[in-house]
Structure 1
Amino acid sequence: MNGLGVRELCCLFCCPPWPSKIAAKLAFLPPEPTYTFVEENGAKQAVCLSDRAEWQYSEREKENMEVFYTRTSRQNRIACMFIRCTPNARYTILFSHGNAVDLGQMSSFYLGLGTRINCNIFSYDYSGYGMSTGKPSEKNLYADVDAAWHALRTRYGISPENVILYGQSIGTVPTVDLASRYEVGAVILHSPLMSGMRVAFPKTQRTWCFDAFPSIDKVSKVTSPVLVIHGTEDEVIDFSHGLAIHDKCPKAVEPLWVEGAGHNDVELYSQYLDRLKQFVSVELAN
């Protein structure tokens, strides 16, 4: 009935894992920070990227990046980055990145992505990542995305209908949580997971009270158009998670199932950018 074997059930009921322990084991692998913020012209912050950030552009392109700190409801200070990728962008993407990278490592990707699909990019580091304070946890993850959302709305005056929430891997968790509470222009879920227990125990068919990241129970409340992207050979979050999340979305659009792609190489396939361009420039425009 529940998809778990007798031995697994005994382990769960005799010593059930706390959600925070599931979260820590499955999700959070913050790298050594690949950037710092330095004060420039008084209180204004500028980003200084280390060699490990592998910045692929010139110093001039960094002038399009604005960085600052904001504070969460749990009193952590999180680092934020706004990249003006194009002068006539209708949409701004609020990007929640994967579990083993920080803003520095993602900065080149953000600039390239935004330029190609005609969107500006706003992103942030989770508590305990990069220059953000605190420790990674499920509760902090939700507080982090809330703080990023409010910073984007108040600092830049961007209307919800002009925001696209993009979550990748563990970043789909705060993305789904936010999208279940606010209506936005659209949502993109890249390699999403149903829940922590369903990753750890693939045969799990229900949400346990001690489960972490229960996106499968929240995604049905998302009222915005949702594009789900998943590699069919994903070795970290099985393709079945993407299928299930897509099926639960009330306004799911045609998904992108990338044949042969794993967890970390979907972006290398040509259909990735093609599908995003189609979604942003054609489907949302109509």
Structure 2
Amino acid sequence: MPELIGIAGAGVALALALLFVRSGFLERRFSYAPAREVEYSPSDVGLAYEEVWMESADGVPLHGWFVPGKRDVTFLWLHGNGGNIAYHLEHLRDLHAHLGVNVLLFDYRGFGRSSGTPAEKGLYRDAAAALRYLKGRPDVQPDRIVYFGQSLGTALAVELATHEAPLGLVLEAPFPSGPYMAHRMLPFLPMWFHRYLVPNRFDTAARIGRVKAPLLIVHGELDMTVPHEAGKVVLDAANEPKEMLSVPHAAHVDAHAVGGSAYYDALLRFVDGL
């Protein structure tokens, strides 16, 4: 009898643990690391900009910056899971200088000055809201928008592209799915367990085959957060035309700093070819 009670207790504990994981608490805790305070602006790196607000489909106010360029191409910048838009200012400055494109860089719900709490479906709505905002601007050509995703933002860029095809798609450090990344962290557990355990799917590898747009993947060869082979999985699942820039010595989303001119030259060639 004590053995049965112990087994039953262990079963209840496991069930409660699974419910706790599936509740979304761990999704928010480990998938998102937002910073609320936006300490700097594009003017701090010498860029003229417009502070903009937009509203997601479920009414969440979103904050961002629009930086005008000299070209008719606009980058919709979808950043990663940490910090906020102020963390990308040096990258923004250099990308703008090398490419000359318009850029919209904005914060998802729960990041920076944007309201709300981050969650997968909400972030998809936020990306769609940003695109809707861009297409409503008189100084943006709606058919000349490139989606530029980094890490977590690559999943948002691909999901958005399955609904509204961009002029081009640039993915920096993409990952196949949330369960794929969980399996990499805990490889002794079967994949079906990760598919159940991880509520945030971000299923890029399954979606990208539906995207009809030129693709450039950028990945650091020393990326320990999203391994280089993960980017290859996404590349293999994508349609042509597609290419991959592997940056030696680069880690997670620092290819712009490590790769330097080779990084920006590759982006410029890609944009010029669109």
Question: TM exceeds 0.5?
Answer: yes
Could you say which residue in structure 1 is the equivalent of 2:245?
Answer: 256
Query: Aligned AA for 1:244?
Result: V
* 4+ residue runs over 4 A deviation: 203-207
User: Residues 44-55 of structure 1: matches in 2 within 5 Å?
Assistant: 49=40, 55=44
Does the aligned pair in 2 maintain the 1:20–1:138 contact within 8 Å? no
| Residue of structure 2 equivalent to 1:230 | 219
Tell me which of 96, 108, 121 is aligned to 1:114: 96
Q: Against the structure 1 CA distance between its residues 65 and 232, is the aligned structure 2 distance closer, same or farther, given a 3 Å change threshold?
A: same
> Aligned pairs, how many?
251
Match of 2:209 in 1: 220
CA distance in structure 2 between the partners assigned to 1:244 and 1:22 by the alignment: 26
Structure 2 runs not aligned, ≥5 long? 1-13
Q: Where does residue 184 of structure 1 map in the other structure?
A: 166
Equivalent in the alignment of 2:175: 193
Q: Does 1:267 align with 2:271?
A: no
Once the 2 structures are TM-superposed, how far is the Cα of residue 101 of structure 1 from its aligned partner?
Answer: 2.5
Q: Is the 8 A contact 1:96 1:123 kept in 2?
A: yes
Measured in 1, the distance between the counterparts of 2:254 and 2:204 equals 23
Distance 1:239 1:19 in 2: 31
What residue in structure 1 maps to residue 24 of structure 2? Answer: 20
Query: Residue 65 in 1 paired to residue 49 in 2?
Result: yes
Distance 1:101 1:54 in 2: 19
Counterpart CA distance in 1 for 2:100 and 2:120 is: 32
Deviation at 1:32, TM superposition (A): 3.5
Q: 1:21 to 1:225 in 2, by over 3 A?
A: farther
Q: Give the alignment's Cα RMSD to 1 decimal.
A: 2.5
Listed one character per residue, the Cα deviations across residues 76-101 of structure 1 (whole Å, up to 9, x for unaligned) are: 100021101x33x1210000012222
Instruction: Tell me how far apart the structure 2 counterparts of residues 220 and 160 of structure 1 sit (CA, whole Å).
Output: 23
How much has 1:73 moved relative to structure 2?
1.3
CA shift, 1:139, in A, is: 1.3
Residue identity in the other structure for 2:89: S
Once the two structures are superposed, what CA deviation does each residue of 1:28-87 show, in whole Å capped at 9, x if it has no partner? Answer: 11123124xxxxxxxxxxxxx37xx89333xxx3xx211121111122100021101x33
CA contact (8 A) 1:30 1:128 kept: yes
Residue matched to 1:171: 153
The corresponding residue for 2:195 is 208
SS at match of 2:34: coil
Once the two structures are aligned, what percentage of the paired residues are identical?
A: 25
Pair 1:26–1:154, CA change in 2 (3 A)? same
Q: Deviations over 1:101-159 (max 9, x none)?
A: 21223234223212211211012100011110001111110010011010000123634
Provide the secondary structure at the position in 2 that maps to 1:144: helix
Q: 1:189 to 1:19 in 2, by over 3 A?
A: farther
Q: Structure 1 regions of 5+ residues with no counterpart? A: 1-10, 36-48
Aligned residue type for 1:117:
L
Partner residue of 2:59?
75
**Corresponding residue for residue 277 of structure 1:** 268
Residues 150 and 174, structure 2, Cα contact 8 Å, conserved in 1: yes
* Counterpart code for 1:275: A
CA distance in 2, matches of 1:185, 1:245: 19
